């Protein structure tokens, strides 16, 4: 995992964005297959990461964002 993270960090911002666009479909599929795991494991990680970056988003806003990302508009 560390090697993948190091490779990701070495990308330019445009390359990181392109990678994330490609990976989002796979991530959404994982979340869709096990939404409970997404809620219990990923939501707290996302909330903490966003808070540490000064992006105060409440749980309702996060749910809307995740549902939209997975193709389930609110």
pLDDT digits (tens, 9 = 90+) for 16-63: 999 998 998 888 888 888 888 877 888 788 778 888 888 776 667 767
Residue 30 lies in a domain: yes
Kindly report whether the global pTM for this prediction surpasses the value 0.85: no
DSSP secondary structure code for residue 11 in this structure: S
Residue 46 lies in a domain: yes
Which residue blocks in 1-74 are alpha helix, DSSP H?
A: 2-9, 13-33, 35-37, 43-52, 59-69
Residue 50 lies in a domain: yes
Residue 70 to residue 10: CA distance in whole angstroms: 28
Residue 5 lies in a domain: no
Residue 43 lies in a domain: yes
Q: Name the residue range of residue 39's domain.
A: 13-69
Residue 26 to residue 44: CA distance in whole angstroms: 20
Count of domains for the chain: 1
Residue 53 lies in a domain: yes
């Amino acid at each position: 995992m560390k090697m993948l993270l190091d490779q990701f960090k070495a990308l330019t911002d445009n390359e990181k964005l392109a990678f994330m666009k490609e990976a989002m479909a796979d991530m959404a599929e994982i979340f869709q297959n096990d939404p409970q795991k997404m809620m219990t494991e990923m939501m707290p990680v996302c909330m903490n990461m966003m808070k540490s970056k000064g992006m105060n988003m409440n749980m309702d806003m996060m749910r809307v964002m995740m549902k939209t990302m997975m193709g389930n508009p609110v």
